[in-house]
A and B are shown apart, each in its own frame.
Chain A
Amino acid sequence: MRPFSYQRATSAAEALRLASELPGARFIAGGTNLLDLMKLSIERPSHLIDINRIGLDRIEDTPEGGLRIGALVRNTDLASHKRVRKEYAVLTKAVVAGASGQIRNKASTAGNLLQRTRCPYFYNTDQPCNKRNPGSGCSAIGGFSRSLAIIGASDTCIATQPSDMAVALRLLDAIIEIERQDGSGRTIPIADLYKAPGTSPDVETTLAAGELITAVVLPPPSGGKHFYHKVRDRASYAFALVSVAVIVHDNGSGKVALGGVAPKPWRLETADAALPLGAEAATATLLASATPTHENAYKIPLVERTLGSILSQARS
């Protein structure tokens, strides 16, 4: 690892102040992704601000009947929370489909949302990658693209966002609470957190420099049957080839979001409306603008069949 200095913050305000004073600083929470990338010199912070002791580690009921999940709540605790398991089961299912028990014990809620892609060329520092080294080119386009995006990508980058948790949060219409250095706050729907890669795939989110995610808020539970089906190369501890998150009600209405296919959790409200018509119609709407490579075109029928399997389970 490259040398860096390190400081522990004791509050969100202190963490934000330190970030404003230290250019090149990064916040570190669980560290399970950041340290991995620092060992490979892909992430090169000059300073780390440890935010593990600033609180924000509770899950609270909101007055509206939803939940406020602190940014530092560990993945295991989020998945284990009584109301999440019962009323937001798709979220528990998505979280426990990701990573390993050891990593879920450490990884934080906000850190999970901000984890970087697992595109093999992003990790291979010997190869061009516009996300790692802007302007150097994309090795994945024309390269080994089997695991990469089929939709929402650009001609500079076809990496996917790898979070399972983010797919469930997108399905649940979660709201992200953000604190700024001047002490003010703002909220954005999770649909607006991830930026399309366009010509700058190195910029992955709409967070401004020095902003800190402090919580993720869930609206009141919607009921329905919850599904999260993840298709991967191994039965456990592997990233998704595709994942399909669904909440479906007895009358056939519902909503659907996909993981493993795009630079963000993929959801279209028009596809939700097509869900009562079945998997074929919903997939056709969801993936109408897909531009797969010859190596990952299999993801389109895989999404349709996975969704079909979920809908037939929901009916039985």
Chain B
Amino acid sequence: MKPSDIKVSRRTVLIGTAATAAIASVRPSLGATGDEVAAARMPLSLSINRRSYDVEVDPRTTLLDLLRENLKLTGTKKGCDHGQCGACTVIVNGRRINSCLSLALMHQGDECTTIEGLGEPDQLHEVQSAFIKHDAFQCGYCTPGQICSSVAVMDEIKRGVPSHVMADVAAQPGFTETEVRERMSGNICRCGAYSNILDAIMDVGGATS
């Protein structure tokens, strides 16, 4: 077999890596001190991307690890795992949260939307299309979190949730670049694609506001 016969796409490699991680995750992740005693698993029912799941989890499982390791929904990314980078952002009951800073068991009965639930490859969410149109990423690792956050930010502005950059916090916020920059500050992009991310969000938000 010639090397050219080996067809390994970047995606296949990523799936392979995810599978390896999933096998490793049969054992719960250990703290710095390495306690190997697993806690009793507990039942959990929740809805993810409009599909119901009934699972059993170690109480230590975060919502992020449930998505990625247990359910193989690897679109949601693990960056810092401490709520600082926003790569793990998902939408729960209509609100964006850091899935790394939430235990899966805290989401009994909740409705969770991840990047996989926003659009399909042949039917993208308008924010996904805008990110492609405006080249709003380089490596793409923060992108699922950026997109989930963007979708929620547009809703937050529509609902009138106040922000730090409003001169009058009792007023209705406007859909401005200043507002979007402030509201997206919990999503870090190591490649520095911020200006294109902003263009993508303004493109969609400007059209719908």
Contact = CB atoms under 8 A, between A and B. Distances in A.
Contact of A1 (B29, B160, B183): B29
B102 A31 contact: yes
A149 to B, nearest CB: 23
B152 A39 contact: no
A48 B58 CA distance: 13
Contacts of B156: 101
A184 interface: no
B38 to A, nearest CB: 7
A102 B95 CA distance: 8
A96 B96 contact: no
A211 B185 CA distance: 35
A48 B59 CA distance: 9
B156 to A, nearest CB: 7
Tell me the interface secondary structure of chain B in the complex.
loop
A186 interface: no
A110 B181 CA distance: 28
B106 to A, nearest CB: 6
Contacts of B153: 101
Interface stretch (A4-12, A62-70, A129-137, A249-257): A4-12
B35, B160, B161, B164: which has the most chain A beta carbons within 10 Å? B164
B193 to A, nearest CB: 17
A41 interface: yes
A93 B95 CA distance: 21
A8 B110 CA distance: 14
Interface in B69-113: 81-83, 86, 89, 95-98, 101-103, 105-106, 108
Tell me the interface secondary structure of chain A in the complex.
mixed
A89 B31 contact: no
A103 interface: yes
A307 to B, nearest CB: 19
A52 interface: yes
A125 B32 contact: yes
A106 B29 CA distance: 24
B186 A101 contact: yes
Interface stretch (A18-26, A78-86, A193-201): A78-86
B96 A102 contact: yes
Interface in A15-67: 28, 31-32, 35-36, 39-41, 48, 50, 52
Contacts of B207: none
A97 B182 CA distance: 10
Contact of A3 (B38, B42, B106, B161): B38
Contacts of B101: 31-32, 35-36, 103, 106
B59 A105 contact: no
A5 B40 contact: yes
B62 A8 contact: no
Interface residues of B, number: 47
Contact of A32 (B39, B98, B181): B98
B162 A102 contact: no
B103 A31 contact: yes
A112 B166 CA distance: 22
B109 to A, nearest CB: 9
B169 interface: yes
B106 A50 contact: yes
Given A3-B39, A41-B32, A101-B183, A96 B163 contact: yes
A2 B181 CA distance: 37
Interface in B1-47: 28-29, 31-33, 35, 37-40, 42
A39 B31 CA distance: 6
A291 interface: no
B83 to A, nearest CB: 6
Given A96-B163, A103-B186, 13 more contacts: A3-B39, A5-B39, A5-B59, A32-B98, A36-B83, A79-B169, A80-B159, A100-B186, A101-B96, A101-B183, A236-B164, A236-B181, A236-B182
Interface of B: 28-29, 31-33, 35, 37-40, 42, 59-60, 62, 81-83, 86, 89, 95-98, 101-103, 105-106, 108, 149, 152-153, 156, 159-164, 166, 169-170, 181-183, 185-186
23 contacts: A3-B28, A3-B38, A4-B59, A5-B40, A31-B102, A35-B103, A36-B83, A79-B162, A80-B160, A85-B169, A85-B170, A86-B170, A92-B162, A93-B164, A96-B163, A96-B169, A100-B186, A101-B183, A101-B185, A102-B96, A102-B186, A234-B185, A236-B164
Interface of A: 1-6, 8, 28, 31-32, 35-36, 39-41, 48, 50, 52, 76, 79-80, 85-86, 89, 92-93, 96-97, 99-103, 105-106, 125, 234-237
